[in-house]
Structure 1
Amino acid sequence: MTVSLWNRLERPEDIRTDTLVIGAGIVGIGCALELQRRSVDYRIIDRLHPGAGASTRNAGFLMRGAADNYAFACDTLGRERTRALWAWTEENLAILREHDIAALSTYRATPSCLLAITDNEAAELTRSAQLMREDGFRVDLLESHTDTPWRHPDARLALINPDDATINPRQLIDTLAARLTQPILTHTDAFAIDLDRADHILIHTSRARIRAQRLLLCTNAWTAQLLPDYAHRIVPNRGQMLALHAPEDHPDAPALSFAYYLNRGGEYLRRPDPDTIIVGGCRRHFETEERTLADATTPALQQSLEDFAAELLAHRFPVKARWSGPMAFTADGIPIVEPLPENPNAVVCAGFTGHGMSLGVRTARAAVDLALDHTPPPLPLLN
């Protein structure tokens, strides 16, 4: 979203705070909660409203891991970094549970199932389970199951993360935002940052001038709009989803005991309530078209989602909703958490490659440590 000349004119309001958080998604709210826990004066702003980006447009998977699978991650990131990344996602869910999300009406302790439908992925998941057990992670490997996706003729085996969960992401964001002692300044678009001042950082917004000692930029897919130098490192990618009307009392209702990932995470589905199945993915077939911030669905990709669901669920259920959401990809799939070279008190925390729900609040704590104490993450985890 651009900011017009009229909204750039000097505003009478002048706000001062110790730390400003830009972006009120899962990561920005996580930063604000951590600042609050550490008794730091803060303000948090968002160009629209809490969770307006990917944080309320995802499938609601609270899943361990952040790559195609553990073996693939070990091959590409290294064993130590992969072990740290998977532990990071377990800590992320533990932090969320500290905020009593397990008491929310849409929270479900739902194991995730990485279902292989090719021999190559089956071999990777078999090796993943072995490596994960060696590294101390709880994991199961199934060769058969009664769930409907297992009737697919190419279903081989599945890796089960037994301690994962699912949730309505809108309810999660609203619950976390309600725990903040400072109100979120909504419809407040930051359009310029002055990092060169001697005693503070000056942030120009459509609502006020904000002077802060420290700055946390939790802008994910919109990072390059404020910091153009990040355009090649944090790349917007759109994810599309749909919801099927598939009531459990339907004669062809599919059985779904798990939250499913297929095709190395390229497609995914789960049942959030007795009447609905949500399906997402298929972007790998349209990578060029989906490298965008545009909030829109496209007929070709949506048709691919419908066909994928019909094949996997053995029935073509009617679609009740379609939507998209903006993700932010990095080259290696790891978030960027680093100070800006112009000012070490300004920290970027963005680029979650579709795993903000699994990494966001834990990574937010690392970003706050970096901004307040200049303490880097304890392991060579982050980008």
Structure 2
Amino acid sequence: MKVDAIVLGAGIVGVSVALQLKRRGLSVALVDRKAPGNETSFGNAGLIQREGVYPYAFPRDWASLARYASNRATDVRYHPAAMPKLLPFLYRYWHHSRADRHAAIARAYSTLIEHCVTEHRTLIEEAGARSLLRTGGWMKVFRTSRALDAAIADARRWEAEYGVHHEALDGTALRAAEPALRPVLIGAVRYPSSDSVSDPNGLVTAYARLFERLGGRILIGDASTLAPSWHVETQEGPVDADSAVIALGPWSNDATRRLGYALPLAAKRGYHMHYAARDGARLNQPVLDAEAGYLITPMVRGIRLTTGVELGYRDAPKTPVQLEAVEPLARGVFPLGERVDAEPWLGSRPCTPDMLPIIGPGTKHRNLWFAFGHAHHGLTLGPITGRLLAEMMTGTPTIADPTPFRADRF
């Protein structure tokens, strides 16, 4: 098989790249070891975060560092055995998280974030996936006035800098918006300009079906067989292409390392579990318990509880201690019933130390392109990443300046 482009990786980013290339008239083969949307894209919170102009930074205050060092925090846990290998990455992450550096990163990041909702809505309409879309935003809820006041101050700053609207809710307004939440919560910050979806895997699948309807090919294959220029083995035989895109999420550095690149990529692991809702309780939107570090959101399968960050080796066995720690807290906030899933789901978020994704050409090969490292915002940034990279690959004017996301910044 001969195509214009091979896209390796059928998560939200890879599917979006393949779809945007196909919409521009290229012949494209989308290659993965699994069906679309069945790795990291399967287990996220379903948020399309228009407010997320400041990517999640590493804490720099001593109180937070001491709390995380104890390895008992509910929002961040780590595997001690993995720390020697992860410390150089974490130091660089901490370095880039200084307030002035973080602000500069946000200025670059915002050029992608500002298009996340509109690009998703365009593809959702074309894919016939409107039933999965939930408009009207999501909220962070708080247990103490100190944390609530700090979140409101951040939201006001983000609105002043980037025009991201927010709503501050006191306890009465919070209970009106979400009657099933318990009064242990005193208030919330709501971001109405963001969207969410009720089935992230279903959304990726809908985008993949649109890609196929436009004439794209989805193939089961082995990314480790990628060879210049450009060839990959699949179950339907070898595929040759003029260009190749690596969009393998947390496995991207396996492919880039084989080609001679040394790009810093680490994995933030996370878990989810679905629950029934007791006594007819209803949750209307995603809710982040900001001080406890978990999120609950209504999904097709039930109420999904997602955890914060687990730092460890990407492929280490499951250690869902965070889920066990936050489940009682979540039950104290919302009337969760029995578990729906047989076991917790585990996924890995691909992260760079400067919190910016890697989008653009490889520096050692002609017609090799990268699209990975989106950390917590893979679902949010999938379609805009696909559009930006497709514009770069086809030589057309780009919707945003790609310079901050280039691979050679490292």
TM category, shorter: 0.7 to 0.9
Letter in 2 for 1:98: T
Tell me the equivalent position of 1:151: 183
Within 5 Å, which residues of 2 pair with 1:57-76?
57-66=43-52, 67-68=55-56, 75=99
1:342 aligns with 2:375: no
**SS of equivalent to 1:365:** helix
Against the structure 1 CA distance between its residues 359 and 152, is the aligned structure 2 distance closer, same or farther, given a 3 Å change threshold?
Answer: same
Q: How does 1:3-14 map to 2 (within 5 A)?
A: none
Q: Is 2:320 aligned against 1:320?
A: no
Distance 1:269 1:338, change over 3 A: same
Match of 2:346, SS state, is strand
Give a deviation string over 1:135-189, Cα, whole Å, max 9, x none: 3222222233103446225x45424334423231122122111112334333211
- Is 1:97 paired with 2:121? yes
The structure where helix makes up a greater share of residues is 2
What residue ranges of structure 1 are gaps of 5+ in the alignment?
A: 1-14, 196-200
State the secondary structure of the residue aligned to 1:258.
coil
Aligned to 1:227: 256
Residues 1:190 and 1:89: Cα distance change in structure 2 (over 3 Å): same
Q: Distance in 1 between matches of 2:227 and 2:364?
A: 10
Q: How many residues matched?
A: 350
Instruction: Mark the CA change 1:17 to 1:184 in structure 2 (over 3 Å): closer, same or farther.
Output: closer
Match of residue 5 from structure 1 = none
Checking the alignment, whether the CA contact within 8 Å between 1:194 and 1:203 is kept in structure 2 is: yes
Give the CA deviation at 1:204: 3.3
The CA distance in 2 between the partners of 1:80 and 1:265, in whole Å, is 28
8 Å CA contact retained: 2:56, 2:355 = no
> Contact 1:106/1:167 (CA < 8 Å) preserved in 2?
yes
Q: Say if 1:27 and 1:363, in contact at 8 Å, map to a contact too.
A: yes
- Residue 358 (str. 1) matches residue 367 (str. 2): no
- Identify if the C-alpha distance between structure 1 residues 81 and 225 changes in structure 2 by more than 3 Å, giving closer, same or farther: closer
After the TM superposition, which residues 143-182 of structure 1 pair with which residues of structure 2 at under 5 Å, given as runs?
143-144=170-171, 145-146=174-175, 147=178, 148-149=180-181, 151-152=183-184, 155-180=186-211, 181-182=214-215
Q: Secondary structure at the match of 1:341?
A: coil
Structure with more relative contact order (C-alpha pairs < 8 Å, separation 6 or more): 2
Give unpaired runs (5+ residues) of structure 2. 61-96
Q: What is the root-mean-square deviation in Å for CA atoms of aligned residues? A: 3.1
Does the 8 A contact of 1:346 with 1:371 survive in 2? no
1:39 partner SS = coil
Q: Does 1:310 align with 2:343?
A: no
Distance in 1 (alpha carbons) for counterparts of 2:364 and 2:397: 18
- Look up the match of 2:311: 287
Q: Which residue of 2 aligns with 1:132?
A: 158
Q: 2:68 maps to what in 1? A: none
Equivalent residues in 2 for 1:183-202, closer than 5 Å: 183-195=216-228, 201-202=229-230
TM-score, normalised by the number of residues in structure 2:
0.75
Q: Secondary structure, in 3 states, of the residue corresponding to 2:405?
A: coil
The one-letter code sitting in structure 1 at the alignment partner of 2:401 is: P
Question: CA contact under 8 A between 1:244 and 1:276: conserved in structure 2?
Answer: yes
Query: Matches of 1:127 and 1:260 in 2, distance apart?
Result: 19
Shift of 1:351: 1.0
Deviation, 1:346, is 0.6
- Checking the alignment, whether the CA contact within 8 Å between 1:22 and 1:219 is kept in structure 2 is yes
- Aligned residues: percent identity? 20
CA distance in 2, matches of 1:227, 1:361: 22
CA contact (8 A) 2:164 2:193 kept: no
- What SS does the aligned partner of 1:49 have? coil
Check the 8 A contact 1:267/1:279 in 2, yes or no. Answer: yes
Q: Residues 299 and 223 from structure 1, CA distance in 2 versus in 1: closer, same or farther, beyond 3 angstroms? A: closer
Farther-moved stretch of structure 1 (226-235 vs 137-146): 226-235
Aligned residue in 1 for 2:63: none
Q: Which residue of 1 aligns with 2:67?
A: none
What letter is aligned with 2:156?
Answer: Q
1:141 paired with 2:162, answer no
Match of 2:21 in 1: 35
Hey, what's the Cα distance between the residues in 2 that align with 1:304 and 1:16?
51
Amino acid at match of 2:337: F
8 Å CA contact retained: 1:57, 1:323: yes
Q: 1:33 to 1:210 in 2, by over 3 A?
A: same
Cα distance per residue 1:226-277 (max 9 Å; x no partner): 1226676122332210111114x44xx3x5333112337942111225x831
Q: 106, 113, 134: which is aligned to 2:139?
A: 113
Sort the Cα spacing of 1:169 and 1:131 in 2 relative to 1 into closer, same or farther, 3 A: same
Change (3 A) 1:332 1:261: farther
Question: Which stretch of the first structure deviates more once superposed, 118-127 or 138-147?
Answer: 118-127
Give, as a single letter, the amino acid of the residue that structure 2 aligns with 1:261.
L
CA distance in 2, matches of 1:203, 1:379: 26
CA–CA distance in structure 1, aligned partners of residues 292 and 137 of structure 2: 15
CA deviation map 1:334-369 (0-9, x unaligned): 211132121242111101112111011101212223
C-alpha deviation, 1:192, in angstroms: 3.5
Find out whether 1:22 has 2:16 as its counterpart.
Answer: no
| In 2: Cα distance, 1:232 partner to 1:357 partner | 22
| Deviations 1:9-46, CA, capped at 9 Å, x for gaps | xxxxxx22222111111111111121122112222211
- Per-residue deviation, 1:94: 1.1
TM-score (norm 1): 0.80
